[in-house]
Amino acid sequence: MRQEAYIEVTGGRVWYQKFNKNSTGTPVIILHGGPGSSSYSLEGLQALQEDRPVILYDQLGCGRSDRPSDTSLWKIERFVEELAQVREALNLDKVHIVGHSWGTTLAAAYCLTKPSGIKSVIFSSPCLSAPRWEQDQIENLKKLPIEIQEIIKRCEENGTTDSEEFKVAIKEFNKVFVCRVETEPDPEWVKKGAGYRNPEIYNIMWGPSEFSVKGNLKSFDCTARLSEISCPTLFTCGRFDEATPESTEYFSSLVPNGKFHVFENSAHLPYFEEQDEFLRVVGNFLKTIDLD
């Protein structure tokens, strides 16, 4: 069974959908990446409804949610507040959280407000330190052909990240570190997903590209507080992920109940690149927690 509706949050309404086969497991809420992306590419995780209700929502400003013009809304504190409001509206007294990429930033910031009823958190391809992420991308760039490195560096320095040559270079980066599944040029799901994004939010919070954080998340780094997250946690990433296995394993070592898993044939989108394996690993982790 699937239902969809809107929830009033600070600044507007967010759109959500809930999948439920009347299963009895603890609900799981999915936090998409970005900032300013949408839950569209994560809809395959509805398969987890075999064991529990699954809730996906588009954060304010993107996807099918309202798009207010007030740029002061685009800060992590308001997104944390929004998650609390979504949870309250849906009566999620006990809940698992799955965050992907920026969704892990949001998940960590929310958990550090010490809410009750969080049974577990899954940090999928985590970004828990903006400075560390930036440094990891510098190292990743070194693995690409020198001409691609030079284009990206030059466009970053000159502020021409909207140029065609930068876009071409980024496609090469993405083939290695974002999604390694070869698809036809611009498949329908990619085009539709792009239409749900709001680049303004990304620019304000992160910056013009993945490689240098110039937005209001520039100094975000919660590594010193990860030990405060006491619920069971699972940290996952792809072997070739932007969120490197080295950083992901390091984050997992900082929490009291952290587990770590690498998807060997994936980059940044294991939930798409290895969907069946991702569902198996995540599903088994959630079921184990529910049995405890």
Q: Distance between CA atoms of 55 and 243, rounded to whole angstroms?
A: 24
Q: Which of 32, 100, 261, 268 is catalytic?
A: 268
Determine the residue type at 133.
W
Q: Distance between CA atoms of 165 and 192, rounded to whole angstroms?
A: 23
* Residue 159, pLDDT score: 85
Q: Quick count: other Cβ atoms within 10 Å of Cβ 215?
A: 19
Query: How many residues does this entry show for the chain?
Result: 292
Determine the residue type at 43.
E
Alpha helices in 55-145 (DSSP H): 76-89, 102-111, 130-141
Q: Which of 58, 129, 241, 247 is catalytic?
A: 241
Residue 178, token pair as written in the block: 């974002």
Known active-site residue 266: no
Q: What is the pLDDT along the chain (292 residues), one digit of tens a residue?
A: 899 999 999 999 999 999 998 888 999 999 999 999 999 999 999 999 999 999 999 999 999 999 999 999 999 999 999 999 999 999 999 999 999 999 999 999 999 999 999 999 999 999 999 999 999 999 999 999 999 999 998 998 888 888 999 999 999 999 999 999 876 555 566 677 778 999 999 999 999 888 889 999 999 999 999 999 999 999 999 999 999 999 999 999 999 989 999 999 999 999 999 999 999 999 999 999 998 7
Q: For residue 35, is the peptide bond before it cis, meaning its omega torsion is within 30 degrees of 0? A: yes
What are the backbone dihedrals phi and psi of residue 77, each rounded to the nearest 5 degrees, phi first?
-60, -40
Phi-psi map region of 110: left, alpha, beta (phi>0 left; psi -120 to 50 alpha): alpha
Q: Which of 41, 101, 120, 125 is catalytic?
A: 101
Question: Cβ neighbours of residue 7 under 8 Å, at least 6 residues apart?
Answer: 13, 14, 16, 57, 85, 86, 89, 90
* Residue 192, pLDDT score: 76
Determine the residue type at 184.
E
For residue 169, the surrounding DSSP H or E stretch is helix 164-177
Known active-site residue 268: yes
